[in-house]
Amino acid sequence: MIKTKTSDDKLDTLLSRSVVPIIDLAHCGIEEIPVKSVVNRVGHQLHRVLAEKGMALLVNHGISDEKLKTAWDHLDDFVDLPPNVKQHYIRSEGNHHGYKSRELNGNFKGKTPELRHAFNISTLNAQNLPEEPLPGFADHISTLANDFKALACFILQALAVSLDISPTFFLEKHSHMLSDDQENMSTLRMLYYPPVVDDEPGQNNVIERRCQYSYQRCLSNQPDFRPEHDPREEDELNELDGTNGQLFEHKIGNGAVIRCGAHVDYGTFTLLAQDSEGGLEMKLPGSEKWHRVGHLPGAILLNCGEILSIWTQGRYPALQHRVVIPEQEHIRARGRHSIAYFCHPDNITSISPNDLPNPDAVKDTACLKQRKKSFKAAKERVYNACQLISKKFRDTYSNNNHSQ
Ligand SMILES: O=C(O)CCC(=O)C(=O)O
Ligand SMILES: [Fe+2]
């Protein structure tokens, strides 16, 4: 059962409005060996849901809301540290682990700055975590990262069931996640998008704004699948940035900012926990329209990455997504928090569309375009996961605004 304070009738109506199918993981056992019957049930649900929608909202997954909120508190405390302390944890060129924020005054080579603080955790080695300035940080985040890893392992097994292949096929290819040996790029990313408030002209200090998670107004622990949350007409919304890949910008001071530019995730899949502030939008398979994902308290969003799309020959599509800045002033004046776990195969895993038995013949023309794209990436040459992900990083840095 989904735990919520909403009455059953109201909940049914809200859930029926969600563009994202909901999958109940009750008894998935992230702390023990998963129950086989649950793996099978979830596998069968994923088979349909990922092919049709490319994503699912996971409920009763075993990671408590309190744990997520405490992690966001730790991130807020980190963001508040003096710059010379934060400096020690900054992500260096070519490294996935570490903290990164984009200051408004920086040099963006003509790109629109993404207004967010991101702390990537790809090693649980305490040396690389801000334990000294923030006692408790390393312990809490390591436990949380291991919970996400366990959930990812469960999903990897269910995915194998969903594709009717050996139950350990994916698990074996992800055996080094978070193992400190540089053999796998899986990452837990903690994200904070500061409030967007117009500054005095010329001030541009918006990135500094603080919004302590526990004090902010995302206490409404209610599902939110309102389709018309944004006052802009949908056509206008899509015209602004949907069809031609441009990014939704917010003008502030002399410049423009975005929260997270349109992109697809690179790896096998992503698990995403968000607070209730909203802003996440996805393009559904075969569609050029942006859809609000909405909010279900405590749920974790599962979305496919490009590698899974290649493996499944596009059957499980990697969806474009972005985080927009709310149009309403009082909503964008609040910060937003999320946590993403990027599940990546071990670096040396070769990624080829021929690794899996060919799924059903292509029937859906809407998916054809996506399949062609995935084939193009994988046909010319078989890359291993490390090459593929590094190539995507390079392309992203040189071509568009989103920095993964
Ligand atoms: O913050 C979010 O909700 C999404 C973040 C995301 O898509 C990413 O970092 O790849
Ligand atoms: Fe993403």
- CATH number of the domain that 38 lies in? 2.60.120.330
- Which residues, listed in sequence order, are joined to residue 263 by a DSSP beta bridge? 321
Give the per-residue pLDDT at 47: 95
Range 320-324 average pLDDT: 93
| pLDDT per position as a tens digit, 329-356 | 878 888 899 999 999 999 999 888 888 8
User: Is 135 buried (19+), middle (13-18) or exposed (0-12) by CB count in 10 A?
Assistant: exposed
In the reported structure, the alpha carbon of residue 115 is separated from the centroid of ligand 2 by a whole-number distance in angstroms of 15
Number of folded domains that form the chain: 1
Whole-number Å distance between alpha carbons of 267 and 155 = 14
Count of positions (residues) in the chain: 404
Instruction: Check pLDDT > 60 for residue 3.
Output: no
Taking alpha carbons only, the member of 76, 13, 23 closest to residue 50 is 23
Dump strand ranges (E) for 32-158: 55-59, 98-101, 117-121
Q: Are 22 and 16 in contact (CB under 8 A)?
A: no
**Cα angle 231, 236, 240; round to 5:** 115
Whose CA is closest to 19, among 247, 285, 217? Answer: 285
Give the position, in ligand 1's atom list, of the atom nearest the Cα of 193. Answer: 1
Mean of the per-residue pLDDT values of the chain: 81
Answer whether residue 180 is part of any domain. Answer: yes
Residue 322 lies in a domain: yes
CA 260 to ligand 1 center in whole angstroms: 7
Q: Which atom of ligand 1 is nearest to the CA of 322?
A: 7
Confidence of residue 371 (pLDDT cuts 50, 70, 90): low
Tell whether 5 is covered by a domain: no
User: What residues does ligand 1 touch, defined as CB less than 6 Å away?
Assistant: 189, 191, 260, 265, 272, 274, 280, 321, 323, 338, 340, 404
Residue 395, pLDDT score: 66
pLDDT of res. 29:
66
Which ipTM was obtained for this model? 0.99
In-domain check, residue 401: no
Burial of 179 (0-12, 13-18, 19+ CB in 10 A): middle
Alpha-carbon distance of 283 to 297, in angstroms, equals: 22
Instruction: Please check whether residue 4 lies inside any domain of the structure.
Output: no
**Residue 3, domain member (yes or no):** no
* Residue 312 banded pLDDT, cuts 50, 70, 90: very high
Question: Is the pLDDT reported for residue 259 higher than 70?
Answer: yes
Nearest CA among 130, 177, 151, 146 for reference residue 59: 151
Give the mean pLDDT of 159-171.
Answer: 95
| Segments of 182-245 assigned E as strands | 187-193
For residue 403, how far is its CA from the centre of ligand 2 (angstroms)? Answer: 10
How distant, in Å, are the alpha carbons of 110, 198, 223, 382 from that of 14? 41, 34, 7, 44
* 49 falls within a domain: yes
Provide the 3-class DSSP secondary structure of residue 280.
strand
* 58: number of Cβ within 10 Å: 25
Range of the domain at 74: 10-396
pLDDT in tens, 206-258: 555 565 554 454 556 678 877 644 444 444 444 444 333 334 677 766 677 88
Query: What is the band of 267 on the pLDDT scale with cuts at 50, 70, 90?
Result: very high
Q: Please check whether residue 127 lies inside any domain of the structure.
A: yes
84-88: list long-range contacts, CB under 8 Å, 24+ apart: 85/130, 85/133, 88/130
Structure tokens at 7: 């009455």
